[in-house]
Structure 1
Amino acid sequence: MENVSGVTSFILAAYIEMEDLRYVYFTIFLLLYILILFVNVSLIVIIYIEKDLHEPMFIFACNLAVNGVYGSTTLMPSLLHYLLSHTYEISLTCCLVQIFCLHTYAIIEFTILAVMGYDRYVAICHPLHYHLIVSPRKVYMLITFSWVYPCVYFSVYFIMTIHNTFCGRVIDKVYCMNYALVRLSCRDTTIDSLFGMISVIFLPGPQIVMILFSYAQILRICLRASKESQAKAIQTCTPHLAAVINYSIGCLFELFQTRFNMTFIPYKARLFMALYFLIFPPMLNSALYGVSIKTVRVQIFKMFRGKTNEVIPLKS
């Protein structure tokens, strides 16, 4: 590691491995980004304009879509830029901004999923009191908590990173991550690493407990319910459960990538693992809710039918 105190820019070395197929990668990621924006913005617009969808479940799904746009937009434009660039240098300021946005996106995603799990628990286990328990005031409180808590929590850890000076410039990824940057610090980072490990274990703890509790209660009710009620519960929980599993896989991929030596795995597989949590949850979550939930599906079909059924007057 070079001894250069006060380094102000870094090299994202992972792009070097992509040089030979840069235009192929650029095309793939551009199409994926357009698809992510399309499915998420479509869901947001439909939920916003349709008053029938102004229910807690859809409002939470809308926030999940907003966070998907936030996370993918933090990465994709810079990734596309570097794929066409011959230099892979990122300034310290841009690197820190990217770190803050990517980490808060990750925490916000899991927090919203936990809140949605609680919403499904109340809807299935306490249907008669659903609107009393999940009142508009509580919905606003839960949404505010989902966005503010991750930003406040990560800011405490982030301050430690900001006050570092760096003696290395090479980050072996396509984006900046906090742990990768801290490893380049000139000082002893034992405390940072310990705090980071504790955060990895305990930060998602409350969300995991809430999701497990919600589904344990849902399962308990379903075991005693009729087959018709079980089918309805499965239908309403499937999009959320699929979103939780999909995002958890992405988080595990990134955790392995960051904390363990994965050089024995082919580069393309490691690239897939590193980008999974930023591409597939935003792309699939809104699609799952758009296709699986009848109310949203009907509105999507109605929107496209309305366009195709319009009569265009002929010019004389």
Structure 2
Amino acid sequence: MLMMNDTKVSYFTLAAYFDIRAFRYLFFFVVMCLYALIISSNVLLIVVIGVNRSLHEPMYMFLCSLFVNELYGSSGLFPFLLIQILSDVHTVSAPLCFLQVFCLYTYGSVQLSNLSIMAYDRYLAICFPLQYNTLMAPGRTARLVFIVWFYPFLAIVVLVSMTAALRLCGNVINKVFCDNYSIVKLACSEFTAINIYGLLIMCLLVISPAVLIFYSYMRILRVCYSGSTQTRQKAARTCTPHLASLLNFSFGCCFEILHGRFDLSGVPSMLRIVLSVYYLTCQPLFNPVLYGLNVSKIHSLCRSLLCGKKFVFNL
């Protein structure tokens, strides 16, 4: 209901959904299976890392943080999608919409911050192998994980609060989930402050992690170029999963930005929907498989657990 006297919105309409009555149960089943796969694969790896002391190293702690964030981000999207698929009226209450904005934006911010810390960790491991245990002591690892989660949550709380305070002249969002930029475009009040704050957030949560990733890999490449074949092989073995994850996440984020800011009406609606949720769907599915197969310790422990072999909990 849009109340024009005080321009307060009590609900939003998600206009990107189209009539899927003939296929709604098929879509529901597919989305449910994807969600179940994400939950089971990420929980499996969190348990494997948590119960094995041999994996209580900085790299695996950052991986555990990554998997926890993927559970968090998926839970901010998939239950919502499942309800909307079965619904005939694709609306969402304003408080629930802003809660979803908070969940999805913090997920994306924590994900990029986590990937940047992982790149920094690989840089220290490859460029300073003898000092690595000192540079990445348990206390420092814990502080880095805290920073990865704390600053995105704090920044996004302020952003969502500023958006919620806007007076809106509409309530139609042309997406299948709630998006902060789409809500701001509906504003009929001044939102310069949000634009300025958005630039600050971009510097803190996007540009800074990107610079750290770029710096880390430039230093890694420099060491590999001047190092031995063994050094290059070690770098390739440890950095390939991280780079693949980073590229996959970047692709999804780039399309999401393009989708929000440019007219993509020429793209088929189903393809737009799939690509708009790509970074929230494929990343949580892609990372457990990627790290589970490529990180030898995790691979061997998961295989032992799934095959019913003797699995020792190194507590």
TM-score normalised by length of structure 1: 0.93
What residue is the counterpart of 2:105 in the other structure?
103
Alignment of 1:121-270 (within 5 A): 121-193=123-195, 195-196=197-198, 199-200=201-202, 203-270=205-272
SS of the residue corresponding to residue 296 of structure 1 reads: helix
What residue is the counterpart of 2:275 in the other structure?
273
Q: Which runs of 4+ in 1 moved over 6 A?
A: none
Alignment of 1:83-102 (within 5 A): 83-102=85-104
Gaps of 5+ in 1: 310-316
Identify which range, 210-219 or 13-22, moves more after superposition: 13-22
1:124-148 CA distance string (max 9 Å, x none): 0000000100011110110000000
Identify which range, 18-27 or 297-306, moves more after superposition: 18-27
RMSD over aligned Cα atoms: 1.8
What residue is the counterpart of 1:26 in the other structure?
28
Distance in 2 separating the partners of 1:19 and 1:165 = 35
Structure 1 residue 284 corresponds to structure 2 residue 282: no
- Check whether the contact 2:155–2:201 (CA below 8 A) recurs between aligned residues: no
Question: How many pairs are equivalent?
Answer: 308
Distance in 2 separating the partners of 1:197 and 1:168 = 25
SS of the residue corresponding to residue 165 of structure 1 reads: coil
Identify which range, 113-122 or 24-33, moves more after superposition: 24-33
Deviation at 1:164? 1.5
Deviation at 1:170? 1.1
SS of the residue corresponding to residue 168 of structure 1 reads: coil
Aligned AA (1:224): S
What residue is the counterpart of 1:63 in the other structure?
65
Structure 1 residue 305 corresponds to structure 2 residue 283: no
Q: How many percent identity over aligned positions?
A: 38
Distance in 2 separating the partners of 1:200 and 1:18 = 37
Structure 1 residue 79 corresponds to structure 2 residue 77: no
What residue is the counterpart of 1:312 in the other structure?
none
- Check whether the contact 1:33–1:76 (CA below 8 A) recurs between aligned residues: yes
Aligned AA (1:78): F
1:195–1:18 Cα change, 3 Å: farther
Aligned AA (1:221): V
Distance in 1 separating the partners of 2:276 and 2:20 = 14
Deviation at 1:201? 6.0
Aligned AA (1:253): F
Distance in 2 separating the partners of 1:297 and 1:127 = 23
Distance in 2 separating the partners of 1:155 and 1:130 = 35
1:241-290 CA distance string (max 9 Å, x none): 11111101111010001111111111122112210110111111121111
Higher share in helix: 1
Deviation at 1:19? 4.2
Aligned AA (2:111): E
Deviation at 1:97? 0.4
Distance in 1 separating the partners of 2:195 and 2:147 = 27
Distance in 1 separating the partners of 2:239 and 2:128 = 15
What residue is the counterpart of 1:115 in the other structure?
117
1:202–1:58 Cα change, 3 Å: closer
1:228–1:183 Cα change, 3 Å: same
TM-score normalised by length of structure 2: 0.93
1:181-234 CA distance string (max 9 Å, x none): 112223133443454356446631110011011111110111112222211210
